[in-house]
Amino acid sequence: MVVRKGGKLNRREFAKSAAMMVGAAGLRGAGKPVRAYVGTYSSPQGAEGSKGRGSGIYLFEMDPMSGYLTQRNVFKDDTNPSWLAINRTKTHLYAANETEAGGVSAYSIDGGSGELDLLNRASSGGAGPAHLSIHPNGKHLLVANYAGGTVAVLPILEDGKVGEPIDVHKHTGTLGGANAASGPKGSFAISGHDKPHAHMIESDPMGHFVLAADLGLDEIFIYKFDVSTGKMTPNSPPSFKLPSGDGPRHFVFHANRHWFYTLEEESSTLVACDYDSARGTLKAKQTISTLPKDFAGTDFTSEIVMSPDGRFLYVGNRLHDTIAWFSIESDGKLTWAGEEWTRGDYPRSFTIDPSGHFLYSCNQRADAIACFKRDLKTGILGFTGQYTPVGTPAILRFL
């Protein structure tokens, strides 16, 4: 672990804190368990260089004292349910089926047991959906189709099922360069600049605009959203451009609704922006690396997660296999604060539990989820020693 100078915990203090965590593990079972679902790559072909070794969607219970995960069931699905979203009332779960055909699955959630019941499947509006989210109105599902280069809106019906796409947009524009303009020295991080690749889609917190990151075009497309029809129309300007080859992957809004952070996969950078919620526009104010100062070589970033209190931002580095964290300053800019080894290969995504005390890294190529204790004051991560075996885990979502 590396911690920035001036941090509140030195190595000796952190070691003492880690020992206390181990002691807390003995309290396993205290408190009410929290349910969690893990989506996996489950088809023989898998994705991103990994053969699918998962069995579908797994149901776990997390002990809130120790962070320990106990598997309760697995819902068989060989269509790569690699991204999951749960509605606000916790009654339904939606999965992106990352296959060549493309699809979305809708499940009902049993309130007592957490068991899933498949309701239906619908087209995702393109090939290889890599991300989906639920619009704040709860009536529309937004899907980003990576292989197809499209984004789509699907209606969520009254019974929780999904309908066929009511709006589909094909991304077009100038492809980015083969090499990231902002990448580290010696990097060969080349993945998706052969054609458009929609990698994420999500509404702004108010539900007025929908933003979609396209890795191949190095742009974040911005759409006005009509809540009555579910239709998207290009904003003015229609997109936010990033440096050629950097490859925007995922993004996150700050709770204050005015700050926005985008993570670039091939350059391993974060760009901090100011967001105008009235106009739906972005203005960059800082670019910062997700890697140590003297790093050289190839790295692919993966996930970006904000702490529940909005004070820290965490990002995943693949190949370097770390989770780095940043302090969010009073002006919304970022300060690199530390990093922790993920204890496994290729962290595709990671999740902070609702209390903010634990972070779980889905180490895709290591076939396990690693659990870390999180210090609420400093943001520091410490490995708990807990590995949860899951074949090619892609995402964990808490109920």
For residues 131, 230, 94 and 359, what is the CA-based torsion angle, rounded to 10 degrees?
Answer: 50
What confidence score (pLDDT) does residue 49 get? 64
Mean pLDDT of the chain: 92
What confidence score (pLDDT) does residue 41 get? 97
- Tens digit of pLDDT for each residue in 325-351? 999 999 999 999 999 999 999 999 999
What confidence score (pLDDT) does residue 46 get? 66
- Tens digit of pLDDT for each residue in 8-55? 344 344 334 443 443 444 334 457 899 999 999 999 876 666 689 999
Query: Phi/psi at 245 (nearest 5 deg)?
Result: 85, -5
What confidence score (pLDDT) does residue 382 get? 98
What confidence score (pLDDT) does residue 28 get? 41
Q: Which residue has the higher pLDDT, 10 or 180?
A: 180
- Which neighbouring-strand residues pair with 167? 153
The CB-side HSE value for 344 (13 A sphere, CA atoms) comes to 28
What CA–CA distance (Å, rounded) separates 313 from 335? Answer: 10
Query: Phi/psi at 84 (nearest 5 deg)?
Result: -125, 150
Q: How confident is the model at residue 194 (pLDDT cuts 50, 70, 90)?
A: very high
Across the range 341-364, mean pLDDT stands at: 97
Query: Contact 342/389 with Cβ under 8 angstroms?
Result: no
Burial letters 235-244, b for 16+ CB under 10 A, else e: beeebbbbbb
The helix, strand and coil proportions of the chain, stated in percent and rounded to the nearest 5, come to: 5, 50, 45
- Tens digit of pLDDT for each residue in 129-168? 999 999 999 999 999 999 999 999 999 999 999 999 999 9
Q: Which two tokens stand for residue 191?
A: 């993945």
Q: Where are the alpha helices (DSSP H) in the chain?
A: 11-25
Strand order from edge to edge, sheet including 381-389: 347-352, 358-363, 368-374, 381-389
User: Which residue's entry shows tokens 């368990």?
Assistant: 33
Q: How confident is the model at residue 101 (pLDDT cuts 50, 70, 90)?
A: very high
- Residue 50 carries which DSSP code? B
> Does 201 score more than 90 pLDDT?
yes
Across the range 82-92, mean pLDDT stands at: 98
For residues 384, 386, 391 and 392, what is the CA-based torsion angle, rounded to 10 degrees?
Answer: 10
- Tens digit of pLDDT for each residue in 270-328? 999 999 999 999 999 999 999 999 999 999 999 999 999 999 999 999 999 999 999 99
Least confident of 14-28, 76-90, 352-366: 14-28
Across the range 107-130, mean pLDDT stands at: 97
> Does 2 score more than 60 pLDDT?
no
**Residue 21, SS3 per DSSP:** helix
- Tens digit of pLDDT for each residue in 230-242? 999 999 999 999 9
